[in-house]
Amino acid sequence: MIDFRTHVTETPDFPKAGILFRDFSPLLRSHLGETLEALGNLLTPAEWRDLDVIAGVDARGFMLGAAMAAHRGLGFVALRKAGKLPPPVQRFSYQLEYGEATLEMHPGQGRLLLVDDILATGGTLGAAARLCHRAGYDLKAILVLADLGLREGPIEGLPVRSLLQY
């Protein structure tokens, strides 16, 4: 069994003072398949059968979401920062500690799994979940690689399942 945590590097004061940046690149470089398998095992086989598409949040959620979609034979949809997708798009603006941000995605339908790399305060992931609903998708589950322990409780009524907890 792989100790996933030992493949995550930590950089203090990046990208600004007071932030401890956890870099999952070494983990994905050395153990992408095992990471996808372990993350996928957080859902039951019945839950996987109830999915049509996986959405990944800009930008590191793209890597996990797209790879997982290919691995599971599902479609993939990107949630991008504003202005990166051609129309038509649905958008959702939200507040962050340092300002406002906007996510966009193409409208669609289907039963969706939302994937991102990190759950911190839940601002971006909560906005992404609301955007999935607004865009016409039926959000069924939320997976993240790591939960930093800064938020408790569900997002949009769904538990957030994580491979690593800090």
- Please list the residues that pair with 11 across neighbouring strands: 21
Tell me whether residue 97 is one of the annotated catalytic residues. Answer: yes
Which is catalytic among the residues 97, 100, 104, 161? 97
**In this structure, how many other beta carbons lie within 10 angstroms of the beta carbon of residue 160?**
22
For residue 56, how many C-alpha atoms fall within 13 Å in the half-sphere facing its CB? 18
Query: Cβ contacts of residue 29 below 8 Å, gap of 6+?
Result: none
Q: State the amino acid at position 130 in one-letter form.
A: R
Helix (H, G, I), strand (E, B) or coil at 166: coil
For residue 32, how many C-alpha atoms fall within 13 Å in the half-sphere facing its CB? 11
Tell me whether residue 60 is one of the annotated catalytic residues. Answer: yes
Which is catalytic among the residues 60, 72, 80, 152? 60
Spatial contact of 142 and 131, defined as CB atoms under 8 Å apart: no
Catalytic residues: 60, 97
